[in-house]
Structure 1
Amino acid sequence: MKTIGVIGGMSWESSAEYYRLLNRHAKARLGGHHNARSLMVTVDFAQVEALQRAGDWDALGVQMAEAAQQLERGGADIVLLATNTMHRVRAAIEATISIPFLHIADPTGQALRASGFTRAGLLGTRYTMEQDFYVGRLREAHGIEAIVPNEHDRADVHRIIYDELCHGNVDAQSRGVYQRVIEDLAARGAQAVILGCTEITLLIGQKDSTLPVFDTTALHAQAAVDWAIGSQTDA
């Protein structure tokens, strides 16, 4: 099995979920006492969040690229960025490493298409919902139209991520807010909902949604394990 490199810490709550999912998928594929071969570089989210608020994506690109290079030097065969928002700087990462980079939107786009869906509601940080780096990837690479919440709901979704979920706080009232937003997206024509922030999986699962749920965290981790095992088999 190849070694999976993860840039984590954004937040560490979702990075812990990545670690669990990578190992769970590897065990499911290989059985016995198997787990995933992995490395993780954990950045300080306080610094990242401050740069996000300041709009300094160039500095963030440098920081993420350095983390990816550290993973490559450590023996990683592929790099995962364990956050949707920071894919805003994926070009800076890809430019500085020679190993593959697995974009988090791709397994989700592929899963949506395989299920016959072409219009999906997108929940995430305001950066992910409002900027084109993610919505554009879904549209151009996978033919998926992403529908985002209205301005007021985007603010609520973003606030709950940063003020609650990134701190490990899972609140039933906030779950209700997300459920209301999902219902509104369905009324606007969404066929499914994308959990487009790696923390949202802590709050929302399929049982909480009237729309089919596509969890980017779970799909990303599973795709990485499939690649790591498939590459080894091909070799």
Structure 2
Amino acid sequence: MKTIGLIGGMSWESTVDYYKIINREVKKKLGSPHSAEIIMYSVDFAEIERLQAAGKWDQLTEKMIEIADKLERAGADMILICANTMHQMAPKVQAELGIPLLHIANAAAEKIKAEGLKKVGLLGTKYTMEGDFYRKRIEENYQIEVLIPEAEERDYIHQAIYQELVNGVLKDQTREKFLRIIAGLKNQGAEGIILGCTEIPLLIKEEDSSLPVFNTTELHAKKAVKLALK
């Protein structure tokens, strides 16, 4: 079994799910009492959030490279950044590693393509929805069109993530608003929805949505297990 390196804490609320999913998948595939070999570096998210808000992405990139290097030297055979937004610097982090960094957008896009969908909506932080590092990767590498909500809706989603979801606050009224946004994307032709922030699956479940949802936390974690057991 290969060792999985996790860069977590962004936020720890969703990193808990990474740990659970990875171990459950290993147990499912190998039987009890098997569990995964994991090395985790969990950051202080307050610092990450402050640097994001200040637009200091170069500083964040240096931090991710430093942490990934520590995990590699500790014996990790692969790296997962347990956050969609922080994949903005994934190519630069990968360039400094001798082991693979499993990109979360690839994990989502592979599942979407396998389902035969051609157009999907993307929910996430404003950095993820409005930047091209995520949508462009999916559109160019997998030929899947990615739609994003209107500007006011993007503001709402972003605020809900940082003020509620990263703190483990799950409100029915927030869920209802997210579902209205999903309905709007469906009206624009979306055939599925990428839950492109690892906290959103804490709020929105498959049974809540009028469209198939792609839980990036789960897909990313399962891809790591597949590689670890290959």
Task: Place the TM-score, normalised by the shorter chain, in its bin.
Answer: over 0.9
Code of the residue aligned with 2:137 in structure 1: it is R
Partner of 1:137: 137
Normalising by the residue count of structure 1, what TM-score does the alignment of the two structures yield? 0.97
Code of the residue aligned with 1:116 in structure 2: it is G
Partner of 1:233: none
Code of the residue aligned with 1:30 in structure 2: it is L
Quick check: 1:82 aligned with 2:82? yes
Partner of 1:95: 95
Instruction: Please tell me whether the aligned partners of residues 123 and 129 of structure 1 are also in contact (alpha carbons under 8 angstroms).
Output: yes
Aligned mates of 2:94, 2:15 — CA distance in 1: 21
Aligned mates of 2:9, 2:15 — CA distance in 1: 6
Partner of 1:229: 229
| SS in structure 2 of the partner of residue 121 of structure 1 | strand
Partner of 2:6: 6
Q: How does 1:54-65 map to 2 (within 5 A)?
A: 54-65=54-65
Code of the residue aligned with 1:41 in structure 2: it is Y
Give how far 1:53 is off: 0.6
Identical-pair percentage = 49
Give how far 1:92 is off: 2.2
Quick check: 1:197 aligned with 2:197? yes
Structure 1 portions without partners, runs of 5+: 231-235
Give how far 1:144 is off: 1.2
Deviations 1:132-177 (A, max 9, x none): 0000111111111110000011011111110000001111110001
Structure 2 portions without partners, runs of 5+: none
| SS in structure 1 of the partner of residue 194 of structure 2 | strand
Partner of 1:180: 180
| SS in structure 2 of the partner of residue 102 of structure 1 | coil
| SS in structure 1 of the partner of residue 210 of structure 2 | coil
Partner of 1:50: 50
Quick check: 1:22 aligned with 2:22? yes
| SS in structure 1 of the partner of residue 117 of structure 2 | coil
Aligned mates of 2:69, 2:118 — CA distance in 1: 35
Aligned mates of 1:29, 1:144 — CA distance in 2: 31
Normalising by the residue count of structure 2, what TM-score does the alignment of the two structures yield? 0.99
Aligned mates of 1:91, 1:113 — CA distance in 2: 22
Q: How does 1:140-219 map to 2 (within 5 A)?
A: 140-219=140-219
Which consecutive segments of 4 or more residues in structure 1 shift more than 4 A?
none
Instruction: Please tell me whether the aligned partners of residues 62 and 92 of structure 1 are also in contact (alpha carbons under 8 angstroms).
Output: no
Code of the residue aligned with 2:132 in structure 1: it is D
Give how far 1:61 is off: 0.1
Aligned mates of 1:187, 1:79 — CA distance in 2: 37
Code of the residue aligned with 1:49 in structure 2: it is E
Code of the residue aligned with 2:176 in structure 1: it is G
Code of the residue aligned with 1:23 in structure 2: it is N
| SS in structure 2 of the partner of residue 197 of structure 1 | coil
Aligned mates of 1:51, 1:69 — CA distance in 2: 20
Aligned mates of 1:99, 1:53 — CA distance in 2: 30
Aligned mates of 1:211, 1:58 — CA distance in 2: 36
